[in-house]
């Protein structure tokens, strides 16, 4: 997963650094074409269809308490990813 650092996904999102990793995937900081930093979550789990359906559903929501999803895509290795707003702050643990 660290191999994504420095790459450009979908010709639009330049992956800058790893934020964290868990059992289902990893989250990176990336820069979008407008120059803003975004969070890029890469899914490594087996339920790709569920990840896509949930991402599409959340992308349709607009509420101040929900992080906005900007895009869904697939990385070069075939893993699904989700581009969302980057929320500043530390780890919840």
Alpha helices in 1-93 (DSSP H): 48-59
Length of the chain (residues): 93
What proportion of the chain, given as a percentage, has pLDDT over 70? 95
85, 8, 60, 20: CA torsion to nearest 10: -50
Q: What is the reported pTM?
A: 0.86
Are the C-beta atoms of 60 and 72 separated by less than 8 Å?
no
Q: Does residue 47 carry a pLDDT above 80?
A: no
> Rounded to whole angstroms, how far apart are CA atoms 39 and 87?
8
């Amino acid at each position: 997963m660290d191999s994504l650092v420095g790459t450009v996904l979908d010709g639009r999102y330049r992956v800058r650094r790893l934020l964290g990793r868990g059992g289902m995937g990893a989250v990176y900081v990336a820069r979008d074409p407008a120059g803003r930093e975004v969070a890029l979550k890469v899914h490594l789990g087996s339920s790709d269809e569920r990840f896509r359906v949930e991402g599409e559903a959340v992308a349709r929501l607009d509420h101040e308490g929900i992080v906005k999803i900007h895009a869904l895509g697939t990385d070069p290795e075939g893993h699904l990813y989700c581009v969302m707003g980057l929320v500043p702050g530390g780890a919840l643990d």
